[in-house]
Amino acid sequence: MGLTFWAPNINIFRDPRWGRGQETPGEDPLVTGKYAVSYVRGIQGDSFEGGKLGENLQASACWKHFTAYDLDNWKGVTRYDFNANVSLQDLADTYQPPFQSCIEEGKASGVMCAYNRVNGVPNCADYNLLSKTARGQWGFNGYITADCDAVATIYEQQGYVKVPEDAAADVRKAGMDVDCGSYLLKYTKLAVEKRKLSLSEIDRALYNLFSIRMRLGLFNGNPVKQPFGNSGLDQICSQEHQNLALEAARNGIVLLKNAKKTPSAFKNQNNFPCSNGPQCRFRTNTSWKLCRPSLQNYYTIERLQSYVKDTRFHQGCSAVNCSSAFTDQAMNVATGADRIVLVMGLDQTQEREKLDRVDLVLPPKQQNLISAIARAAKNPIILVLLSGGPVDISFAKNDPHIGSILWAGYPGEAGGRALAEIIFGDHNPGGRLPVTWYPQSYTNIPMTDMRMRPEPSSGYPGRTYRFYQGLKVFEFGYGLSYSNYTYEFLPVKRNKVYLHIQVSSHVVGNSNPPGFIPVSKIGTEVCDKIKHQVTVRVENNGEMAGKHSLLLFVRPANMSNMRPVKQLVAFQSVNLKAGERAEIELQLRPCEHLSLANEDGTMVIEEGSYFLSIGDKEIEIQAVK
């Protein structure tokens, strides 16, 4: 198939109902950007830093979906016909930053434009987006592809053009190079013949496409003699890779509630997640897209039996939608158990590409089954929740019969072992939620409303932890541990950030209100000089070693609907033994971390006080001119 990979998906997980949110790293632009850069560098090799590969590529990474794409199919509105109305302000400080990081820091070699329109213009036909922004402002050097049949939708679903060849011409002139579909194949020649498209646009596309093939070494002779020519099947399911799958599962599981740490017996409900490809343990000729929950479920029971041999299983529901709940049979099994683990949640029949949710709660009979078994159990039960997106489990959070709740996402082939290790206390959980968990009432907000910032006059609460002003089930970044960690800010070298501007004091005028300084007027040199380190002392006061994530937030002293309630500015994980402490340095970059977008999309810094916070600790800093 080649060496180009159409990944990563780095759209912001803006709405909790989005079926593809599970493919992304979450709702925060900083986290998404850092993830994107690491992902692309890992796929492509060291070409981003001029290493031994030079400009050559190990493989080509193509990030997606450009831009403001986070709706697939919601109440009859599809990604093919959706017109996302997005303000310049929200584009500048929410939707675009991960893409910019992926180009400027990750040096991605591919871009995929999205199906949807933004402010009336199809993404794949938007010259300002593809050529002016990605290539011109951010310095993108690579190829741009359409999502599959996205060119066809410009004519067939969106009616943006009157004839098919206009769609072929418009995307070429916008800067797109290749079509995942047949429209360019069918209509490019006609567009040229009608003088709607020049040959120079085709030449440009060929240049971009063949330059990537050259960087991949596809014209360098015998592939076996190339740097990665000996990569083969022996590297698939290697022990190193299986260990990495286990590490990812361990670190990604989030402890949401905890009263007791280590139960001693297990009952299970059959709804483990789909696997996008054969698991190493179960190598078959099964189709790559086939979901096999029974194999994942078997693996989990097997792992729990390694701790408690008398571990029994009962299928509590006929399927994940729980259209038929075997409540009586499950109750009979459960009442005889010392400890109970219920594995509940969602799967790809509930959330996936082309399918958004309409609810944030579990299927009704699932919830009823959980509550019934919890009431009948001898001891508080453990609830393991599998889902890609957030779920309103307020009923379980507040139920004293449910002692512990673990959110495992879709933990992959090693998820069963990781869960068993956490349940029985052999691994100390340290995962954090990458998205806000909203109450069911959030579904009253149309998924089509792209606004990030709240509008109190209309009751619109805003979106994501940065702007949302409403009740939460769990917050972004929430996650418990079997240890207790404490923090202390060490004295900072500077608690004032001087925003020396490069021109006269009149730079503030025009669209910026008094006290707001455009970052562009501060300049790169000053921005680099005012970067500084913030040192945090963290201590593990528990009895277990653990991996702990430090999340450094900033919030303004004076709140407004224009700026975020708070914003993540740095994060780092640290491994600490029981009783161990460490001093961790986190970098504060004021031009990036204290800035926000004004209404025309210009990044500005407001003079005044800010608070840096980590856990329950805060320190004040000031931005002054």
End-to-end CA distance of the chain: 56
Q: Please confirm whether the linkage preceding 67 is cis (ω < 30° from 0).
A: yes
Nearest to 284 by CA among 295, 271, 272: 295
Distances (CA, A) of 504 to 95, 517, 528: 32, 12, 20
What values do phi and psi take at 87, rounded to 5?
A: -75, 155
SS (H, E, C) 562-611: CCCCCEEEEEEEEEECCCCEEEEEEEECHHHHCEEECCCCCEEEECEEEE
Question: Distance from CA of residue 266 to its chain's centroid?
Answer: 32
HSE value, Cβ hemisphere, 13 Å, CA-based, for 270: 17
Residue 545: count other Cβ atoms within 10 Å of its Cβ. 17
Non-local CB neighbours of 554 within 8 Å, separated by 6+ positions: 566, 567, 569, 593, 594, 610, 611, 612, 613
Give the E-state strand segments of 467-515 in sequence order: 485-489, 496-498
Q: Judge contact between 310 and 339, C-beta under 8 A.
A: no
Specify burial of residue 377 (Cβ count, 10 A radius: 0-12, 13-18, 19+).
buried
User: Catalytic annotation on 28?
Assistant: no
3-class state of residue 229 by DSSP: coil
What CA–CA distances, in Å, run from 350 to 19, 431, 446, 566? Answer: 8, 24, 19, 32
- Burial label, 262 (beta-carbon count in 10 A; 0-12, 13-18, 19+): middle
The Cα–Cα gap between 459 and 445 comes to 10
User: What counts of helices (H) and strands (E) characterise the chain?
Assistant: 18, 24
Query: Can you tell me the distance from the alpha carbon of 254 to that of 284, in angstroms, rounded to the nearest whole number?
Result: 31
Q: In angstroms, rounded to a whole number, what is the distance separating the alpha carbons of residues 115 and 66?
A: 9
Question: Looking at the DSSP assignment, which residues form a beta bridge with residue 574?
Answer: 548
CA angle 141, 143, 145 (to 5 degrees): 145
Rounded distance between C-alpha atoms, residue 214 and residue 427, angstroms: 46
Backbone angles phi, psi at 552, to 5 degrees: -100, 120
- Of 70, 72, 147, 347, the catalytic one is 147
**Which are the catalytic amino acids?**
147
